[in-house]
Amino acid sequence: FPHPERARKILERLRDDRGIQAIMKARKWSVGELIELTPFEASILGYNRNAGQLIALRLRTDDLSGFRHYDSIRKVLLHELTHNVWGEHDDNFHALNRQLNKDVVALDWTAHGGHSLGNGSYYNPEEEEVMDDVGYEAGTYRLGGSSVAVLDNDPEARRQLLARATLSRLTKQEEKEMDEGCGSA
C-alpha cells in the first residue's frame, strides 16, 4: 500500500496516545499487536481478536488515496478495546464504550489548557510534510494554573473545550455505524 510510513506513524501515535495509555493501565489491558486492517476488507472498520491479542484498524480512506481522521480511528480503537470486556454490541458494551470515549479525553493531560510563553520562532512544515490530519493540533495553550479561570476569561478557549468534548462523544448514529463496521462481534 502507498505511504506505509504514514500508516506506521498513525499506529505509533495511537500506541503513544496518553489517553489510550491511561485507559489501558487503569484497566490492566494490553494489546499484543496493533496492525492496519487491509484496505480490501472494506466492509469493516476494525476487529479485536482474542481480547486484545490482535487489534486491526482501518487507517485509509475508502478510495485508498489518504488516511482517515485520527479521532475517528481512535474511536474505533476504543470500540475494539471495549470488546476486551463485552463481546456483543448490547447496552453494557455501549455504556463502556461511551465511558472510554469520555476517559480518553479526560485522562490525556496534554489535551488540557496551556499558554504560549512568547513570540519566538516556530516550525512551519512544507506542504508535502503535512500528513493527512495526523499531526498534532496547533493552538495557544496555558502553562499551569487553573483551567477554569482561563475558561471564564476566554470565551474562545471555552468554546474550543466544549467543541472537543462534544466531538469526543459518540452519537447513537456513530455507535450504529461502528457496530455495523465491527468485525469482532
> Can you tell me the mean pLDDT for 58-70?
89
User: What is the enclosing helix (H) or strand (E) of 35?
Assistant: strand 33-36
Point out the residues that are catalytic.
80
Number of domains composing the chain: 1
pLDDT tens sequence across 27-60: 999 999 999 998 777 788 999 999 889 999 999 9
Q: What is the pLDDT of residue 136?
A: 46
Q: Which domain does 25 fall in, by range?
A: 1-185
Q: What is the pLDDT of residue 67?
A: 92
pLDDT tens sequence across 155-180: 887 777 777 777 666 666 777 776 77
What are the φ/ψ torsions at residue 12 (nearest 5 degrees)?
-65, -40
Q: In angstroms, rounded to a whole number, what is the distance separating the alpha carbons of residues 62 and 76?
A: 16
CA distance readout (Å), 69 to 59, 60, 64, 74, 96? 8, 9, 13, 9, 23
- Please choose, from the candidates 105, 113, 109, the residue with its C-alpha nearest in 3D space to the C-alpha of residue 146: 113
For residue 98, the one-letter residue type is: R
C-alpha cell at 48: 479485536
Instruction: Tell which phi-psi region holds residue 118, choosing left (phi > 0), alpha (psi between -120 and 50) or beta.
Output: left
- pTM above the 0.85 mark? no
For residue 162, the one-letter residue type is: L
User: What is the enclosing helix (H) or strand (E) of 33?
Assistant: strand 33-36
Triad 11, 9, 81: Cα angle to 5°: 15
67: helix, coil or strand? strand
Q: Are 159 and 23 in contact (CB under 8 A)?
A: no
Q: What is the pLDDT of residue 56?
A: 94
